[in-house]
Amino acid sequence: MTKPVFEFTRQNRNQRTVTVLICIYAVLVGLIIVLDAAWWLMGLLALATLPALWDVAMDTRAGMSITDDKLSWYSGKREGSLALAEVKKFRFDTRWDFSVRVSAISKTDKRIRLPDESLPPHKQLEIVLQSAGFDVERHHFRVF
């Protein structure tokens, strides 16, 4: 196995996620107690937190690594890899919600979208990719 040139790992069971979940549940319970909100409506609102609660309970991990010849990523039980020899450039798209989506463009102009949860902060990733000799394109606020 080749030694990674760059490696990034994210653990979903972290203090920030747990704190946000506790705050959301406290607000929902507070609304029921203080404002006599409908419990079933608060339950519906709590459904939106289930994916985050699942990630915390299962302690899922996500990350990526770059070796001399391969880019690999994983998220939970999903994983993928891409030979760096096939990559022409990387494209960073800033969306209207200010999130950044990263795609690898192959030499045949096929776009391979890298999973967001597996990526390090986009500025750090851009520096790593440029230092590895790849062209990096940035596109801001495109509609299509």
Residue 32 has pLDDT above 90, yes or no: yes
Structure tokens at 20: 């946000």
The pTM score is: 0.72
Same domain assignment for residues 70 and 26: no
Say what the pLDDT of residue 97 is.
85
- Kindly report the CATH number assigned to the domain that includes residue 108: 2.30.29.30
Is there a domain that residue 133 lies in? yes
Which one of 28-32, 55-59, 78-82 scores highest in mean pLDDT?
Answer: 28-32
Is there a domain that residue 1 lies in? no
- Whether 30 contacts 39, CB under 8 Å: no
Say what the pLDDT of residue 31 is.
96
Residue 140, H or E segment: strand 135-140
- Separation of alpha carbons 28 and 38, rounded Å: 10
Same domain assignment for residues 107 and 50: no
- Whether 10 contacts 78, CB under 8 Å: no
pLDDT, averaged across the chain: 89
Which residue range forms the structural domain that includes residue 54? 11-58
How many structural domains compose the chain?
2
Same domain assignment for residues 40 and 68: no
Is there a domain that residue 78 lies in? yes
- Residue 138: other Cβ atoms inside 10 A: 12
Say what the pLDDT of residue 65 is.
92
Count each helix (H run) and each strand (E run) in the chain, helices first: 4, 8
- Whether 59 contacts 11, CB under 8 Å: yes
Say what the pLDDT of residue 96 is.
87
Q: Above pLDDT 90, what percent of the chain?
A: 53
Is there a domain that residue 32 lies in? yes
Per-residue pLDDT tens digits for 87-123: 999 999 988 888 899 999 999 999 999 998 899 998 9
